Amino acid sequence: MKIRNLILIAFYILIFIPFPLFASEWEEKTITGISFDSKGDAFDESLRSLIEIKNGDRYQTSVIRQIMSRLYETGKIKSVILNVTPISENKIAIQWMLSAKRMITKIAVSGQRQFSEQEIYNALSFSPNKPFDEDQWKKQVAALDALYKSEGYFNVQIKSDFQTQPEDPFQILIQLNIEEGNRARIESLSFTKDPVFPDLILQLSTVSQKPDYYSTQQISSDMKRLKKLYTQKGYLRAIIGPPSVHFSPQSQTVSVQIPIFASHKIDFLFHGVSTLTGKESLSPFIPINEETTDLDQALEEGARAIKNFYREKGYPFVEVQVKTKGFSSGKNCEQALNERGLCDRIEAHFTIENLIRTKMRQIRFLETKLFSQRRLKKLVQIKEEGLLRKTYYTKERLNEDVENLTLFYKKEGFQSVHVTQEINFDEKKEWADLTFQIQEGVRTRIDSIVLKGAEKLSEKEISKSLLFRQGDPYNKEIAREGARQMLTAYAKHGYADSKIDTEVTFSEDASFAHIQYQIIEGEQIFFGPLKLTGHLKTKDNVLLREMRFKEGDTYDYEKVLLSQQRLNQTGLFSGIRFEPTRNADAKTRSDMNLTVVERSRVATEFGPGYRDSEGVRGFFEITHRNLFGTGRRISGRAEGSRVERRYSLHYKEPHIFSYDTNVIIGTTYFLTQAGTFKPFDEEAFLATVSFEKSLSRLWKTILLYEYKDTTISNVKPGVTLTQQDIGRLFIGSLNPSFIRDTRNDLLNPTHGSVHAITFRNAAQILGSQELATFYKITHQSSGFLSPTPKSTIALSLRIGGSKKFGETSIIPLSERFFSGGRSTVRGYAQNKLGVDGETIVNGIPKGGNAMLILNEELRFLLYGSFGAVFFFDHGNVWREFKEIKMREIKSTVGVGLYWNTPFGPLRMDWGYKLDREKMESASEYHFTLGHGF
């Protein structure tokens, strides 16, 4: 036997023979003494319970090994050594020598200015409660040192001080002191090797300049800009970098040299291209870059890619040929190739031939019995040419249609269906006729569904999870999907380890299928303890109150996903990760680890805007979103334009009194000047308290109390109805709202809907003056759907009414409804729509107590983030709800353009009046940020 085989046998014997191999001489001897040596570390008393051995017990190797395994599984032990000392012939004493792992609980950073604590933690790859290893720590500090040097801090000094915690010697606090030193500036930036272009042109393409601070990241960005420059100039194989950096300690500066190998210039020339394409659209198909070694092969690949591109666009007979021609100054290209290995310039000529675009004239389906020609035509991507529809033949699309038809028939129970196609072109190959031959075969239906092994859940409960029933068409996927649906039902009840075997048998003629599911239910799993890590500033209870599960609940991962969603909604964390782990000692328990990454607690926002009725406007907001690590939020905001100024301060108390309800206390001051925006000046101070509660994932309710101290002045003539409309007024109101929101995007939704109804009750008991008591109801519903990936249909209905009561003779001016403008009826100026002589007099709006607005809009993307809209708006404002008349509804139609920005769509709309009155303008323009609804 070979020596190598003997070594292997010995190795496996050492692994599998119970530990210790040479301890057999102590087996079954009586233990009369037990001691511990923790190698200088204080002994963790909780580990004693794991050492289930006492004086008088017999020594057993298997028991010793089990104890050692349990000690290692705690994660607190680095090593375990057992010393055995003989006392007499049948008695021994044992000593446990334990070496504990030290855990990093916190890193306290001081002296840093350039990087935040979180950035430093990221560089160190730090997360709490990880074992401490000195060698690994040196590597982590080296990574932090490299981060500082990458930003020009070449003299940085990083010192570490390790402190054990008095209450727990296994825990380490690391004091990290950073002496950053001076940051180096750029002394010179030059370009070497074969750059072709002069340094001045290259320096103009870079951001890094003398005497800017040095930054590796910025230099990398500059090299990308240089690469783009060379690519635009035709030097597609140019190699930029890597840079050479020389640091001078005396002057605290760096000299940066960027090597550039320009290679030769390559020009692409295209002959015979269609009007739909050009050099800019075809060049990206040619795979030439700095890594290209075989130019001819790359050009041939480019020709094939261009041919495939045209064929996908409906040119099935296109051919593309490529030829090259070299040029070199002062000598022929062959001589230059021999001397330098390259020409100065190469022209690649691509010739595109047979650009015939083939349109579909007729599509037919043969031997179809169950489905109509009309229905089958809806299933295929290729369509017949029509007055408003142009479709072109492509081989790829045809193959996909054959596959789609096959899948459709199999889904409908035709398991042996066979679909073939035949395409015929006219003489000029401009038109094609397509015939699909469909051999349906036998249709199979589900005859019976049998469940075996179901004990923990009833058959009725399991059957509810199935989306198919007896008599439905059979296909392979529906049987597999049935098993997945049942596994989901079991998982919701904690049976995460359930297994289901599927067996399908068919009748003799294959017209019926019998499905039998054999269910192996397994053990019911429960949630174990939840371990939290990563929340350096946030308190434990902030995370725990968002959990939809607790220890002892049946294991349901949907509850974990819901908890993750709720944590996301707090806005406190940029990363959230749940990791379930099975407990080795309790197999029916699944412990859960939650790791979070905290966002910066202080955030600022600012930005400009524009509205046609206000001109340029702007805002600034500062928010602390995690006060004292409790999730409490406070924010201040200032915004203004030439006609309005607004200042607000809000405080949010989440989960008030441990209930799932948020309380928001706010105060706002605003001043609005009379103009096109409003027919009066208004100065107001608002104090609000609101209670918000999510009733479900879709439903939310808000109860808002508002106290408003408002002063109306400078009212335009004809607007006031009584003297109550001018002067100071106090309005206290209670405003409950109910909201249902299924939109996929709050700023730019493409599907879903939002429904909101708000009641406003202003009574004396709530703080209103006796001259300002009223109630008000408003409702808005908006829906969105996308018939195509680049288009959205948006619909909206708004209706509102108010009624006075008590001593109030008329609804206060500031509380009336106004209509017209960017978000209501866009053919009218802001607030300039009303019933002539009633709610608008001589062009001056007086407002009303009833409102009805309807909007229909088609939005579609044109290119990139730019889009267009067609809209149709209707509505008006009446004095009272009972006075609403359909014939008085005014309509406008219009078009608009928008640009999707991070702050929402920036829009320009033009609306045209369809019910124009005398002295009214024919149309209006509106500029705004955000969709109107």
Q: What is the pLDDT of residue 651?
A: 95
Q: What is the pLDDT of residue 785?
A: 92
Q: What is the pLDDT of residue 132?
A: 72
Please state the rounded mean pLDDT for residues 302-321.
88
Best CA proximity match to 494, nearest among 550, 556, 547: 556
User: Would you state the torsion angle of the CA atoms of residues 718, 724, 727, 728, taken in this order, to the nearest 10 degrees?
Assistant: -150
Rounded Cα distance, 771 and 654, in Å:
36
Query: Looking at the predicted structure, is the pLDDT value of residue 17 above 50?
Result: no
* Highest mean predicted confidence (pLDDT) among 303-317, 675-689, 869-883: 869-883
Q: Where are the beta strands (DSSP E) in 641-698?
A: 644-653, 662-672, 681-694
Please state the rounded mean pLDDT for residues 814-843.
88
Please state the rounded mean pLDDT for residues 679-685.
86
Rounded Cα distance, 257 and 306, in Å:
39
Higher local confidence (pLDDT), 194 or 248:
248
Rounded Cα distance, 359 and 277, in Å:
19
Q: What is the pLDDT of residue 687?
A: 96
Share of the chain above pLDDT 70, in %: 89
Averaged pLDDT score across all residues of the chain: 84
Q: What is the pLDDT of residue 357?
A: 87
Higher local confidence (pLDDT), 15 or 340:
340
Q: What is the pLDDT of residue 58?
A: 84
Q: What is the pLDDT of residue 20?
A: 39
Model confidence at 294, pLDDT cuts 50, 70, 90, reads confident
Please state the rounded mean pLDDT for residues 544-568.
89
Alpha helices in 279-415 (DSSP H): 279-282, 295-312, 333-340, 373-379, 395-411
Model confidence at 14, pLDDT cuts 50, 70, 90, reads very low
Sequence-distant (≥ 6) Cβ neighbours of residue 814 within 8 angstroms: 682, 684, 710, 712, 729
Please state the rounded mean pLDDT for residues 531-535.
87
Model confidence at 4, pLDDT cuts 50, 70, 90, reads very low
Share of the chain above pLDDT 90, in %: 26
- Considering only 577-591, 703-717, 735-749, which range has the smallest mean pLDDT? 577-591
Higher local confidence (pLDDT), 102 or 242:
242
Q: What is the pLDDT of residue 10?
A: 45
Q: Is 677 exposed, middle or buried (0-12, 13-18, 19+ CB in 10 A)?
A: buried
Q: What is the pLDDT of residue 43?
A: 52
Query: Looking at the predicted structure, is the pLDDT value of residue 205 above 80?
Result: yes
Q: What is the pLDDT of residue 343?
A: 62
Rounded Cα distance, 407 and 417, in Å:
9
152 near 85, Cβ under 8 Å? no
800 near 780, Cβ under 8 Å? no
Query: Looking at the predicted structure, is the pLDDT value of residue 328 above 80?
Result: no
Quickly count: other Cβ atoms within 10 Å of residue 256's Cβ. Answer: 20
Which residues share a beta bridge with 419?
438
Model confidence at 745, pLDDT cuts 50, 70, 90, reads confident
Q: What is the pLDDT of residue 801?
A: 94
Query: Looking at the predicted structure, is the pLDDT value of residue 301 above 90?
Result: no
504 near 481, Cβ under 8 Å? no
Query: Looking at the predicted structure, is the pLDDT value of residue 401 above 80?
Result: yes
pLDDT in tens, 483-530: 888 888 888 888 888 999 999 999 989 999 999 999 998 889 999 899
pLDDT in tens, 835-886: 988 888 888 888 899 999 999 999 999 988 899 999 999 999 999 988 999 9
Model confidence at 16, pLDDT cuts 50, 70, 90, reads very low
Query: Looking at the predicted structure, is the pLDDT value of residue 116 above 60?
Result: yes
Please state the rounded mean pLDDT for residues 69-94.
79
Rounded Cα distance, 291 and 303, in Å:
19
Please state the rounded mean pLDDT for residues 30-50.
67
Q: What is the pLDDT of residue 722?
A: 62
Angstrom distances, CA of residue 537 to CA of 172, 573, 594, 704, 778: 18, 11, 15, 31, 42
pLDDT in tens, 623-677: 999 998 899 999 999 988 888 899 999 999 998 876 788 999 999 999 988 765 5
Q: What is the pLDDT of residue 280?
A: 65
Query: Looking at the predicted structure, is the pLDDT value of residue 348 above 70?
Result: yes
189 near 199, Cβ under 8 Å? no
